[in-house]
Structure 1
Amino acid sequence: MISVSDVSKVYALESGDFFALKNTTIQVGKGEFVAIMGPSGSGKSTLLQLIGGLDLPTSGTIEVDGIELNKLNEKQRTLFRRTKVGFIFQNYQLLPMMTVGENIALALSANHAKKEEINSVVQKLLSDVNLQGKESAFPSQLSGGQQQRVAIARALAMKPSLILADEPTGNLDQKNGEDILKLLSVLNKEEKITVVMVTHDHQAAQVADRIIVVRDGVVVTDGNKGGNRHETVANRMA
């Protein structure tokens, strides 16, 4: 499903080159739920952006569903993101001047879907995230938990095979955060959608099948939650 092979991301700064990622290699299987953890500035969000085609690596290759992102031009990457990937962000990124229904329908409208199809999809997604009857509300009229549910519904509109979630519970209280994690888990287990989630919250990471820890641009641990770790950097260098 996802193959990140020997990927580095380098930013040229006045003080010298900064390696956001260094020779990173990970594999994510179809239908997996993977959490990526690490301190601020560790490179975890950079890794998520590269997997989603929002940026390109300085070196190495990234494949998603057999598509090598390095070989796509900007227009092709936009189409890839629109059809393959659902993004969920910490700050929701809903358009404030659009209603809930219009926010969810954004990608469908961009793909020139018929009005009847759009209405049907929006109603189904609102039901899926337990927000029936909210299609005419504006984001400012919703709680943070409700806004994140709208963001998840929007991410699902094009039936993506992959959800990339960057700190999806970061702005929520414990109850709303737990509800969002349960919803992501249901989508993963029942809809078989691959989920890659960046989080700093150890409790949130427990919903994942596997936890990858990134530090200073390097994957230091890649394994399951029970302690049976896969190969680590230390082992490879031994």
Structure 2
Amino acid sequence: MITVSNVSKVYSLESGDFYALKNNNIHIEKGEFVAIMGPSGSGKSTLLQLLGGLDVPTSGDIVVDDTQLNGLNEKELTQFRRTKVGFVFQNYQLLPMMTVGENIALSLSANQASKAQIKSTVGQLLSDVNLVGKESQFPSQLSGGQQQRVAIARALAMKPKLILADEPTGNLDQKNGEDILKLLSKLNKEEQMTIVMVTHDIQAAQVADRIITVRDGLIVEEGKKGGYPNETVENRLA
């Protein structure tokens, strides 16, 4: 599903070159749930941006779902992001002047879906994230947990094969954070979506199949996390 080969990301500063990532190699299987951990400034969010085509590596190759990102132009990268990747961010990034339904429908509208298709898809997604009846409300009228559910619904609108989540529980209390993790786990297990999640929270990372640790731009640890091989998501988060 995802292959990262000898990838570096270098920023040219007055003080010299800064390596946000240094010659990293990763392979993530289709349907895997991977957590990326590391201290602030370690390069984990940079890695997530590269996987989603929001930025391009200075060197190396990235292949996502048989698409090599390095050679794509900006138009092709935009299409890749719209159709193959769903993004979930810590601060939700909902448009405040749009309703819940309009926020969820953004990518559908951009891809010229019919009104009937948009209505059907938005209705189903609201049901999936347990927000039926909230379609006409605005983000400011929702709790943080509800806003993150809207963000997840928006990420799912184009039925992507990959979800990239950057600190999705970072602004939530424990209960809402656990609910979001349960939802992501459900998508992973029932829909076989590949999920890559950046998190500072070791408890959140335990929901993943595998934890990758990044430090100073280098992957310094990678392996299966312990526990929970046969347990339900609810038991994992108990």
TM-score by length of structure 2 reads 0.95
For the residues of structure 2 that align with 1:138 and 1:219, how far apart are their CA atoms? 40
Q: How much does 1:226 deviate? A: 2.4
The percent of aligned pairs where both chains have the same amino acid is 81
Structure 2 counterpart SS, 1:82: helix
Structure 2 counterpart SS, 1:185: helix
Instruction: State the partner residue of 1:87.
Output: 87
Instruction: State the partner residue of 2:191.
Output: 191
Instruction: State the partner residue of 2:235.
Output: none
For the residues of structure 1 that align with 2:222 and 2:26, how far apart are their CA atoms? 8
Instruction: State the partner residue of 2:52.
Output: 52
For the residues of structure 2 that align with 1:81 and 1:114, how far apart are their CA atoms? 20
For the residues of structure 1 that align with 2:113 and 2:163, how far apart are their CA atoms? 22
Structure 2 counterpart SS, 1:70: coil
For the residues of structure 1 that align with 2:132 and 2:67, how far apart are their CA atoms? 36
For the residues of structure 2 that align with 1:135 and 1:24, how far apart are their CA atoms? 42
Instruction: State the partner residue of 1:223.
Output: 223
Instruction: State the partner residue of 2:161.
Output: 161
Deviation per residue, 1:174-232 (Å, 9 max, x gap): 000000000000000000000000001000000000000000000001110029xxxxx
Matched, 1:22 2:22: yes
Structure 2 counterpart SS, 1:71: coil
For the residues of structure 2 that align with 1:118 and 1:226, how far apart are their CA atoms? 41
Instruction: State the partner residue of 1:63.
Output: 63
Matched, 1:174 2:198: no
May I ask how many residue pairs the two structures share in their alignment? 227
Instruction: State the partner residue of 2:144.
Output: 144
Matched, 1:100 2:66: no
For the residues of structure 1 that align with 2:210 and 2:202, how far apart are their CA atoms? 12
Q: How much does 1:105 deviate? A: 0.2
Aligned Cα root-mean-square deviation (Å): 0.7
Letter in 2 for 1:163: I
Query: Which runs of structure 1 show a deviation greater than 3 angstroms over 4 or more consecutive aligned residues?
Result: none
TM-score by length of structure 1 reads 0.95
For the residues of structure 2 that align with 1:187 and 1:219, how far apart are their CA atoms? 27
For the residues of structure 1 that align with 2:226 and 2:159, how far apart are their CA atoms? 32
Unaligned 5+ runs, structure 2: 228-238
Letter in 1 for 2:193: I
